[in-house]
Amino acid sequence: MRRIWRILVTLLALLGLLTIGLGVAAGILASRLADHHHRPSLPDKIVLDIDLDRGLDDHPPGDGLARFARPERPALRDLVESLERGGTDSRVLGVAVRLGRAHLALAHVQELRDALAQFRAKGKFAMAFAESLGEFGNATGETYLAAAFDEIWLQPSGDVGLTGFQIEMPFFKGTLDKLDITARVGRRHEYKSAPENFTETAMSREMRESLSGLLASWFEQTVSGIAKGRRLAPERVTALVDEAPFDAEAARAVGLVDRLGYRDEFDDGLKDRAKEAERVEAEEYLDQAGRPHAKGRKIAFIHASGPVVSGSREDGPFGDGKSIAADDIVGALEDAVDDKAVAAILLRIDSPGGSYVASDTIWRAVLRARAQGKPVVASVGTMAASGGYFIAMAAERIIAQPASIVGSIGVFAGKPVLDKFWARFGVTWDETHIGANADLWSPNRDFSPAAKRKFDATLDRIYADFTAKAGKARHLEGAALDRAARGRVFTGSQGVAVGLVDELGGLETALAALRQAAKIGSEEPVQLVPFPKPKSLIEKLMAAAGRGGLPFGLEGAARLAALVRPLVDHLEALAPGRPASLRLPPLEAR
C-alpha cells in the first residue's frame, strides 16, 4: 500500500510540475508573440543604451527560470556585437553607457574598449555617465573603461577611485593549527600557490612574485589606456593614481572626467548631441537589427565557462551553466565535427581550471576535432588558467586579452589530516582494510611513507604529462618551457612573451584567426552558432522531473551558497579523495 501511495504522490508531483512548466512556457511564448506583434520598428535615429551597473557575464545568461532566480546581467558578446552592428548602421548615432557600481573584470573592460574604439572609428559618439567611479572603493578598472569614451559625465557628489590594484586573500593555517588540523598537500611546483592558503600564514616569495607580476602588467596596461584616452602623459596618470581618490571637482580639474552633472542633466546633454534620436537598449537593438554574424559560413561557438569537472552537467530550470562538464564539451565538439556545414570551431574559455582528468578528456576531443579537419581557435575571457589552459593549448591558436590570466601549468592535491582534531573532542576512529593503500585518502591518518611515495609519484606523472603536452603544443622545450611552467601565472601580454599565447585580442581577433585557418575570405560572412544547442525551459523542467528534482526554495539556497562560496572554493580542494587539481586559487584584484 505504501508503495502504491508513493507512486501516486510521485505521479501527482510530476503532473503538477509539468502543469506549472507548461503554464510558464505558455506565458513566456504568449508574451514573446505579443511583444513581437506589438514591437515597434527601430526608429530612424538611435542611441544605443547600455547599463553596466548591472554587471557583465562572459557566459550568456541562463535559460528558463534562471532569469527569475537572479537579476539578469548582460552578456559580453551581446554588447560587443551590438556595437559592431551599430557601427555599420546609419541609424545609430552613438552609445550612452552607465557605469561605476559594478566591478568589471579587466579582460572584459579591454574587450569593451576594443569594441568602443571600432564603433567610434565609424564616426559614432560614445558618452558615459557615472554617479561615482568608486564610492569608498577602488574603481581603477572602471576608470580605465571610462577613458574609452569621448565624453565622461560624473555626478557632482561622486568620486573617482583611480587607486591602483590590490590582491588580497585569506590564509587558514593559523585557524587549522588552533583546531589541530594539518593540511597535507603536494604541488608541482613552487609557483603553484593554491595550497598555500592552508600551509602558510602569508604569501611565499614565489606567490608574491607571481601576483606582483600580474599587478605590474595590469597597471601598465591601464595607465597606457587612460593616458591615451584622456590625452595625458603616462607619467602623469601614474602620479594621479598615487593622488587618488578624487572628488568630482578635482577629477574634472585633472582631466579624468569632462563634465559634472546629474543623470537628468546627462540625459539633456545627450538629447542636445543626438537631436530627435531615441534611446534603445543594446540587447533590444541587437534582437531587432540582427547579429553581425548571423549568416554565412558556419562557425561553431562553444562556451566553456567555470571550473572543469568530469561527467555531464545537469542544470535544472534554475541552472546558470557555470561549469565546464567534460562530457558536454566533448559532445559539443563531436557534434560540430559531424555537422558538415561547420567550417571551424571557436572555443571560448573562461576558467580557473579544475579536474586534471576532465581537462585531459576535453584536450583530447579538441585534438580529434582538428584531426578531422575542423580548425579550432581558443579565445580567452578573464582566464584560461591551469586546467583551463590545458584545454586551450590543444587549439591551433590561443587568443587572449592583455589582462587575461593564462598559464598556471602545474598541479596540486592533498587532504586534511584530522586525527588530532578528533582527539580534542574525544572522538576515536577505528578501521579495517584490504589493500596496502586502501586508506591512502583517509582524512583520519597521515600518509605512510609508502603512501607518500605513491602520492608524490602521481603528482610527478601529472606534471610531466601537462608540461609534455604544453611543450609540444607551444613548441617550447628546455629552459623556455621551464620559464612558462612550474605553476607560474601570466597576463595575456606576458603570455605572448613566454610563448603561451599567440595573439592579443577578443572575439573578433579569434574570428580572424579562424577565417585564416579555415580559408574563409576576410569579407565573406560567417555565422556563430552555439554548440550545444541551448535547452529550452520545457526541456529543463522535464529533465528535472526525470531526476526527481523539485527546485522549490532554491533561490534562497543559491543566495546563501553565494555568500559562503569563497570559503568553499578553498576548502573543497582539500576534500578527502579530491582528484589532482589543475586550478588557480580564488583571487580577485581590486
Q: Is 214 helix (H, G, I), strand (E, B) or coil?
A: helix
In this chain, the answer to whether the domains covering 42-163+244-289 and 297-409+454-552 adopt an identical fold is yes
Q: What is the DSSP letter of 167?
A: B
Q: Which cell goes with 180? A: 589541530
pLDDT at 560: 44
pLDDT at 136: 87
Residue 420's pLDDT band, with cuts at 50, 70 and 90, is very high
Residues with Cβ within 8 Å of residue 219, at least 6 apart in sequence:
164, 165, 241
Pick the range with the lowest mean pLDDT from 38-47, 67-76, 490-499, 560-569: 560-569
pLDDT at 65: 47
What is the enclosing helix (H) or strand (E) of 583? strand 581-583
pTM: 0.85
pLDDT at 550: 41
State mean pLDDT over 406-415: 95
| 447 has pLDDT over 90 | yes
| 22 has pLDDT over 80 | no
Residue 589's pLDDT band, with cuts at 50, 70 and 90, is low
Domain spans, the chain: 42-163+244-289, 297-409+454-552
pLDDT at 575: 56
Over pLDDT 70: what percentage of the chain?
Answer: 80
| 105 has pLDDT over 90 | yes
pLDDT at 461: 97
Q: Is 584 helix (H, G, I), strand (E, B) or coil?
A: coil
Q: Is 372 helix (H, G, I), strand (E, B) or coil?
A: coil
Residue 535's pLDDT band, with cuts at 50, 70 and 90, is low
| 557 has pLDDT over 90 | no
42-163+244-289: CATH topology is 2-enoyl-CoA Hydratase; Chain A, domain 1 (3.90.226)
Do 401 and 107 touch, CB atoms closer than 8 A?
A: yes
Please tell me the distance from the alpha carbon of residue 514 to that of residue 396, in angstroms, as a whole number. Answer: 9
Do 403 and 140 touch, CB atoms closer than 8 A?
A: no
Residue 313's pLDDT band, with cuts at 50, 70 and 90, is confident
Give the closest residue to 273 by CA, choosing from 381, 126, 138: 126
Over pLDDT 90: what percentage of the chain?
Answer: 75
Q: Position of cell 584567426?
A: 513
Task: Give the right CATH number for 297-409+454-552 from 3.90.226.10, 1.10.357.10, 3.90.79.10, 3.40.50.720.
Answer: 3.90.226.10
